[in-house]
Amino acid sequence: MADKIRIIDIAERAGVSAGTVDRVLHDRPNVSLAAREKVEKALKEMNYQPNAYASALAYNRSYTFYIVLPSHGSEAYWEDIEKGALKAKDQRSDFQIDVKFLYYERFNPESFNETSIECLRNNPDGVVLVPSSLDTTRNFTDKLHQRNISFILLDSFMPDLKPLSFYGQDSFQSGYFAAKMLMLIAHDEKEIMLMKQTNNGTVASKQQANREVGFRHYMKDHFPDVKIVEIDLESDSDRKHYDSKLEKFFTSHPSVHHCITLTSRAYIVGDFLLKTNRRDIQIMGYDVVDKNKKDLKAGAISFLIAQHAFQQGFSCIDTLFRAIVLKKKVQPINYMPIELLSKENIDFYHRMPI
């Protein structure tokens, strides 16, 4: 078998020393053109396939991958991204791989630019990036291309930036699916509430905006008479402010029994419903953060759509490892599954990669 071919076998076939074969296999200098051609001919004739894993170990060099994320508190989707990335690092403990995190303020282009400069200053071997706006992000990714630094886009897909790979959901299909699942239980409703979170009127990401496009597309095609009533719970507000706005909303919209948010913070509404004992109202949302999981089990959240955040974080680092360390080809677009979770199956949802 090809993987059992020894260096000495190649040397005998090529008529050169084992040291020469080793230098050719590892692309080292001090090999004459004639000797290199003999070795390469022997490799082709013997159908030699190098052991990428062993070769990478032999180099005994270190790699540092940076992950550029929005700053966040606890109970955030990004926490599982971080945990998955660190798990991938642990699983490659044979190699000297480090994973470092850098953070920027989500709605602040200047903060993103400062964080990108810091990242470049640290000379990363690879980058995982949650993008800001297209133009702001391009300023960073153009510099990464100039330095031949591979990067992976996470959460929002921007193909014009030419990333090595992308991990995330098909956001349009995700929003379309969310509407379809919601209306299985809300098909008789005249109004539904769409909870949004913005900063100065801007949604957090292209992904959330595309989810809303998919959501509204389904509603227009299948439930055009259902009124979608928006409430904006600004991302920088506190619990007291949220509760006040929600109280006013449900008092003025007594016919609303089903709500949806296209973010990971359904628990903002869920906690309010439990606290005020509104058992005839439910909200649907995204992501298996602990507060969402608690409200789902308590009945305030009807369904959650899983994004496999842990798996995304793990896969991003593993993909950089395979592409940069093992020199393997990787899949350029990786859409995550769209899974619907209820209180009956939430305990069987596994975040760990298999």
Note the pLDDT of residue 139: 96
DSSP 347: G
Residues 305-346 have pLDDT tens digits of 998 899 999 999 999 999 998 888 999 999 999 999 999 999
Strands (E), the chain: 62-70, 96-104, 126-129, 150-154, 165-168, 191-196, 198-199, 202-203, 227-232, 258-261, 282-286, 301-306, 333-335, 339-341
At 132-166, the pLDDT tens digits run 989 999 999 999 999 999 999 998 899 999 999 99
Confidence of residue 243 (pLDDT cuts 50, 70, 90): very high
Mean pLDDT throughout 17-38?
A: 85
- Are 132 and 72 spatial neighbours (Cβ–Cβ below 8 Å)? no
| Residue bearing the bigger pLDDT, 198 or 115 | 115
- When the pLDDT of each residue in the chain is averaged and rounded to a whole number, the result is 90
pTM: 0.79
pLDDT at 68: 97
Q: Report H helices in the chain.
A: 7-14, 18-25, 33-45, 52-59, 77-91, 109-121, 134-146, 171-185, 206-222, 239-252, 267-275, 290-298, 309-320
Choose between 3 and 321: higher pLDDT. Answer: 321
Residue 1: pLDDT above 60? no
Tell me the C-alpha to C-alpha distance, in Å, between residue 27 and each of 31, 36, 193.
Answer: 9, 10, 62
Is the model more confident about 11 or about 126? 126
pLDDT at 81 over 90: yes
Tell whether the model's pLDDT for residue 8 goes beyond 90.
no
Average pLDDT for residues 69-91, to the nearest whole number? 87
What is the C-alpha separation between 336 and 354, in angstroms, rounded? 15
Average pLDDT (44-68) is: 74
Given a cut of 80, is residue 265 above it in pLDDT?
Answer: yes
Confidence of residue 45 (pLDDT cuts 50, 70, 90): confident
Q: How many CB atoms lie within 10 A of CB 82?
A: 18
Q: What is the pLDDT of residues 200-221, one digit of tens each?
A: 777 877 888 999 999 999 999 9
Scanning the structure block, which residue is given the tokens 């642990």? Answer: 90
pLDDT at res. 75: 59
